[in-house]
Amino acid sequence: MPHNMSPLPHFCQWLHDSTIGTSIRESTYAFPVIETVHVLGITLLVGTIAVVDLRLLGILFKREKVSSIVRQVLPLTWSGFVVMFVSGVLLFWSEAEKAYVNPIFRIKLLLLLLVGLNPLIFHSTIYRRVAAWDDALVAPRQARVTAILSLTLWTATIVAGRAIAYVH
């Protein structure tokens, strides 16, 4: 990107050329090993999120309190988030220059932004009043919309993540 000197592509190029980026890229095993961790980490992050979504929709654990499921599952979700974030950053680091110009990578970042905003809105609005609907077999409308958005956006994120490698 010689003609584009705006800071973002410049930063991506610098990451790409850094010692860590280069050693991951040039090692035979580093990239596939980190990538495998990133793929298997999906089960911990998205698997636990899906349990909460399916509870809100009244499909799983409908006789359990919503807050009880959320509280028990949340530490696992955060562990999954750490695994995914660290492995994801390392993968990006090793091919930052390529990722920057990959349209699918941009779509994935946008999806991650949306999939992160969704629970923030949920937890700061309707979930604050969870005591009123904790025992409901099916959660109120706004919570169900959150759950469907979450399942849809996570599916799209996984699809986009896989597609990064298919688009050059």
Partner 1 sequence: MSALHFFRWLSHSSFSIYLRHSTWGFAIIETVHLLGLAALGGTILIVDLRLLGIGLRRQPISRVARELSPVLLGSLGVMLISGALLVMTGPMKYYYSPSFRLKILLFLLAVTFYFTLHRNAVRSNADSTGFTWSKVAAVVSLALWLGVGLAGRAIGFLGMLLV
Binding of partner 1 by 32 (CB under 8 A): yes
Token pair recorded at residue 158? 């996984």
CA torsion sign for 152, 8, 167, 91 is negative
Minimum CB distance to partner 1 smaller for 73 or for 126: 73
> Angle, nearest 10°, between helix axes 103-124 and 141-164?
160
Q: Which positions ≥6 away from 92 have C-beta within 8 Å?
A: 15, 99
Minimum CB distance to partner 1 smaller for 23 or for 68: 68
Write out the binding residues for partner 1, residues 59-98 only, by CB under 8 A: 60-61, 64, 68-69, 72-73, 76
**What minimum distance in Å lies between the beta carbon of 46 and partner 1?**
5
- Measured CA to CA, the distance from residue 128 to residue 134 in angstroms comes to 11
Positions in the binding site for partner 1 (CB under 8 A): 28, 32, 35-36, 39-40, 42-44, 46-48, 50-51, 54, 60-61, 64, 68-69, 72-73, 76, 155, 158-159, 162-163, 166
